[in-house]
Amino acid sequence: MMKKILTGTLLLATLAINAFAYDTNKAKDFDTFYSNFTQKACAQSKLYIDGEETMKMIRDKQKFTFLDVRTQGELSVVGINTPNTLEIPVEHLFEEANLNKLPKDELIIVVCYSGTRAVMVVASLKMIGFKNVRVMKGGIVGLAQGNSAKNAPIK
């Protein structure tokens, strides 16, 4: 009887330890990535780009790619009408075929509705090796707010 109690207790202890364990390899990857986010690095960050700067880039025909990660439903209401736009919903972005569509040698500006998904996408893209990616500050709304007669593309 005592042997069964001891065995049961050890089994429960083992299960309890595993239930509270975490993926140490992923934790190390995150530690490596986020250890670069010092106060100085954050203050000097070029993570965000605002609508006005983006509209000027479009007007001046600067080379970059919009990566619109909104859902198909969101895209059906309001879209970005530029030839340099890739529309890949976030739930499909990290599929190999879609990652291969992203340029490796130019700026990628990630757009979503408000900027929340874009922040996660940019962090993830940076973690897998994309270096020149930025978040459209304020999302599609921020882009629209940056549009004006002064900044709009000249047709």
What pLDDT digit, counting tens, does each position of 66-75 carry?
999 999 988 8
**What is the pLDDT at residue 92?**
97
Largest CA distance in the chain: 87
Domain map (residue ranges) of the chain: 2-40, 46-145
What pLDDT digit, counting tens, does each position of 90-146 carry?
999 999 999 999 999 999 999 999 999 999 999 999 999 999 999 999 999 899 888
**If you write DSSP's letter for every residue of 29-56 in order, what string do you get?**
HHHHHHTT--HHHHHT---EE-HHHHHH
Closest CA to 109 of 81, 92, 83, 84: 84
The SS3 of residue 133 is strand
Is 59 a residue whose pLDDT tops 80? yes
Q: Exposed e or buried b for every residue in 114-141, given b needs 16+ CB within 10 A?
A: ebebbbebbbbbeeeebebbbbbbbbbe
- For residues 1-29, give the mean pLDDT: 69
The type of residue at 120 is M
Is 13 a residue whose pLDDT tops 70? no
pTM of the model: 0.76
Q: Which fold has domain 46-145?
A: Oxidized Rhodanese; domain 1 (3.40.250)
d(CA 88, CA 154): 27
